[in-house]
Structure 1
Amino acid sequence: MRVLVAALLLAMAGPSLAAEVVVTDGDTFQLDRTIYRLDGIDAPEIDQTCLDQRGDVWPCGVTARDRLSAYIGNRGVRCEDKGPDPVYKHRRIGICSIESEATTLNEWLVREGWAIKFDPTAKARFAAEEADARENRRGLWKGCFAEPRDLRGWNHNGARLSGGGCHAGHENRTRDKLFRVDTAMPPGCPIKAKLALRAVGYEGIYHLPSCGSYRRLKRANRWFCSEEDALAEGFRKALTCR
């Protein structure tokens, strides 16, 4: 009888013991107190825009985050910790899965078209999943998108454009839409950032809501959810911030 009662108590406690998962973008989430970036893949940045099959702009970064969050739902997640992220020092690299499922979240995101394989760290993984998503025009592949690494580097002249909606001869028009200077603030990401062209390239400056320059900056190139993310991508804090 005692064993039965104990088993019932454990079964009732099980769901409440699962660590909370907070998805911050299409390939990053916080599991309990640890932030994981999924290994070998690259999802659109939270403020990234893409083109759909008609050539209209849509917030693919926010959508990728929402799809990952909806897929996880209230289910438990387990991660294999692969060590610290070499770029984002406050994050860990992870290979993660829903509890009791064999397919990793890394694989699922690429197969559903919400992320691409990220070489060289992919190490020949996810090629089949990416090819399947591209052939069936799932997720990002239904339209046209710039590789997230090119958005991070603001490489609008040499950006690699992918997807069934990319049209030859329209790259300039496409890049104007993919590298916008008036992107709306993604939910929960209030830090404005502006790129300034210098002799040796672009210099990024971010502005917190408390900065004196925040309201004066009417058009932002980028938006960030945290100062750590802005610093990791090479942006510095505005001098008007205290």
Structure 2
Amino acid sequence: MRTLMIMMVVSGLWLPGGVLAGNAFSGAVRVIDGDTVDVGDVRVRLHGIDAPETDQTCRTEQGQVWACGKWVTDQVTTLFGGRMAECTPVITDKYNRIVARCTVAGQDVGHELVSAGLAFAYRKYAQDYVFAEKGAAIRDIGLHASRVQNPSQFRQTRAVGRIPPDRACPVKGNISSQGSRIYHVPGQRDYERTGIRTERGERWFCSASAARLAGWRAAKR
């Protein structure tokens, strides 16, 4: 069994969170944002959808700015938070998260969110929910009733220092405002929002052990 597990890790069949590639897994949902959830102990990026970031804002037709990202997160929490989900892995993304299709009580979570206007079809990666998005747009519900910047464009405008220049070295060595040296690994809560500014002495590491040897401590979450 030990030899088999080693072979799975080496061959890439063992995914983050101890999930075996191709195997469904389940657990209680904890909502991170509109398209990212924890299912049990596994961080999941929902396949085929893209939602505003939690700190993203939108404008009403009258020009009023409102916190649409937080609203989406709250709505998704109301719909699915604490409920049991079943997920099937599709791939892992550049942040080493599992991208998966998930269902709750037999409902496709991605389809439900896009149909309710809480997320968009992520056409760059999948066409699964294009018709669901068109239906929500026709009904002018949810985000479709506002002026919303494309979530991926929003991320690009703030992406400087957030995406590893070398995918083999994804660990972020951040320095806090108090001068503490803290490293973040993919999958942790603040990983994606943490930007690395090398001019301030911050740096990228290829492993957590390398960060520790350099004097950085692990982020608590």
AA at the equivalent of 2:196: R
Greater Rg by CA: 1
1:211 and 1:240 in contact (8 A); partners too: no
- Which of 77, 98, 115 lines up with 1:92 in the alignment? 98
- Runs of 4+ aligned structure 1 residues displaced above 2 Å come to 202-214, 237-242
**Secondary structure of the residue that 2:192 maps to in structure 1?**
helix
What is the rounded CA distance, in whole Å, between the counterparts of 2:135 and 2:153 in structure 1?
Answer: 23
- Extract unaligned runs of 5+ from structure 2: 1-25, 163-171, 181-187, 203-215, 217-221
- Extract unaligned runs of 5+ from structure 1: 1-17, 155-194, 196-201, 215-223
Distance apart, 1:208 and its partner CA? 6.6
Question: Which residue is equivalent to 1:229?
Answer: 192
TM-score w.r.t. structure 2 length? 0.64
- The reply on whether 1:115 has 2:81 as its aligned counterpart is no
2:174 and 2:196 in contact (8 A); partners too: no
Question: Which residue is equivalent to 2:22?
Answer: none
Aligned-residue RMSD, C-alpha: 2.8
Aligned residues: 161
Distance apart, 1:136 and its partner CA? 1.0
What is the rounded CA distance, in whole Å, between the counterparts of 2:125 and 2:160 in structure 1?
Answer: 27
Deviations 1:5-41 (A, max 9, x none): xxxxxxxxxxxxx833211100001111100000111
Distance apart, 1:212 and its partner CA? 3.9
Deviations 1:135-188 (A, max 9, x none): 11111110100100101111xxxxxxxxxxxxxxxxxxxxxxxxxxxxxxxxxx
2:28 and 2:83 in contact (8 A); partners too: no
Query: Which residues of 2 match residues 1-242 of structure 1 at below 5 A?
Result: 19-85=27-93, 87-89=94-96, 91-98=97-104, 100-101=105-106, 103-122=107-126, 124-154=127-157, 203-204=160-161, 210-212=176-178, 225-226=189-190, 228-230=191-193, 235-237=195-197, 239=200
**Secondary structure of the residue that 1:83 maps to in structure 2?**
strand
What is the rounded CA distance, in whole Å, between the counterparts of 2:189 and 2:60 in structure 1?
Answer: 25
